[in-house]
Amino acid sequence: MSKYFLLVIFIAASINVLGCSKESKYEPEQNQTSYNSVQEENKAPDFTLVSTDGKKINLSDYKGKVVILDFWATWCGPCRRGIPDLVSIQKSYKDKVVVIGISLDDERTKNDILPFMKEYGVNYPVVYGTSEVVMNYGNIRAIPTSFIIDQKGNIVDKYIGLVSKEIFLNRIKGLIGS
């Protein structure tokens, strides 16, 4: 078996236990969001991933902007609830902030990504996640998991679970100085 297949199975099993699965109706309440501040000079691991439109996306291409990395999947209820907020943030702060969606959909649901993006009006790049990027970002075990990366490429926050738009906006405003 390939390492990627085993990782996908592990993530799927972990997500099922944590309540974000295709079969589960459980969706975490807003107050269950975990907030973890990360120390300065915690460089975000660079990556090169393929986007849904076939382009290669490098995290390092966005140095100078605040980046929200959102690990998600089309079948995850809390992920679906958070997408409209990310679309709104991208629209409002497009010159200073970029949202990058990292889809953890596997071969069974990969074909759902483009229709999902169209339905939700996703206006930011979505890339296909790999086992390497999952491991480099702390072995993602639950989705959604989001990271805020400052203009210098440092991870400044990590959120596990659904995050309110206000939490994202407060952190963004602090980083861009407005």
Q: Which of 44, 57, 76, 133 is catalytic?
A: 76
Average pLDDT, the chain: 83
Give the long-range contacts of residues 21-25, CB within 8 A, separation 24 or more: 21/75, 21/76, 22/75, 24/77, 25/77
The single-letter DSSP state of residue 154 is B
The string of pLDDT tens digits covering residues 70-111 is 999 999 999 999 999 999 999 999 999 999 999 999 999 999
Which residue ranges form the domains of the chain, and what is each CATH number?
3-22+32-176 (3.40.30.10)
What CA–CA distance (Å, rounded) separates 73 from 82? 11
Active-site annotation holds for 20:
no
Nearest Cα residue to 158 out of 73, 176, 149, 10: 149
Tokens at residue 142, please?
A: 């639950």
Q: How confident is the model at residue 20 (pLDDT cuts 50, 70, 90)?
A: low
The string of pLDDT tens digits covering residues 1-18 is 444 444 444 444 444 434
3-state secondary structure of 135: helix
b/e 96-106 (16+ beta carbons within 10 angstroms → b): ebbbbbbbbbb
Maximum mean pLDDT: which of 18-32, 36-50, 161-175: 161-175
pLDDT above 70: residue 173: yes
Q: What are phi and psi of 64, to 5 degrees?
A: 100, -10
Q: What are phi and psi of 80, to 5 degrees?
A: -60, -40
Q: Which of 11, 79, 148, 160 is catalytic?
A: 79
Active-site annotation holds for 76:
yes
